[in-house]
Amino acid sequence: MISNLLLVGPPVSPTSLAEALAEAVRTESADVDVADRDGDQSRRDWTAPVLCGYITLRGDLSLELDVYVEDALVNEAPAEPELARRLAMALGVPVLHPAEEDLPSAYWLASPSGESVRARLYASDDEPPMYTIDALESVVAQLPRIRVSELPEIARRKAHR
């Protein structure tokens, strides 16, 4: 299973991330390899059942994670929405994952309380981009300054299918 997740809030250390991923897939921390995608790859444990590469982001997001879980080698390889929910709860920060709609701004946000809400995410044209969570469909305690709004483009996209 491969997941693409985005962390909201302050940066998380690689050690904390490895521990949270181990908890999320119900395995040992030793089974998780976490590394900066732009860093030295020669020290990675490519045989680890859980591989996570990350890059640092700007704006409302702190990290982008590419997580690969070898289903046969861990106790439980949850689907992307469940992995995001478990990771948010383990780290105590909101975690975004792409929505199923073919709409670049459509995301789901898993909160540390275990709830999932729809979110609209924009990236600037800057290099590197600045990420902004434009709106949420309901209040998330960790994001009090983000406006709460209906996301009509998602409803329209679903209606046209």
Mean pLDDT by 10 residues, the chain (161 residues): 92 94 92 95 93 96 95 79 96 94 87 95 93 95 92 61 49
The amino acid at residue 146 is I
Cα–Cα distance for residue pair 143/16, rounded to 1 Å: 21
pLDDT tens, 70-114? 877 677 778 999 999 999 999 999 999 998 877 878 899 999 999
Cα–Cα distance for residue pair 158/135, rounded to 1 Å: 19
DSSP per-residue letters across 50-100: EEEEEEE-EETEEEEEEEEE-GGGSS----HHHHHHHHHHHHTS-EEEE-S
pLDDT value at residue 140: 94
pLDDT value at residue 69: 93
Domain ranges of the chain: 2-159
pTM for the whole structure: 0.90
Cα–Cα distance for residue pair 74/38, rounded to 1 Å: 26
Cα–Cα distance for residue pair 72/150, rounded to 1 Å: 40
pLDDT value at residue 160: 42
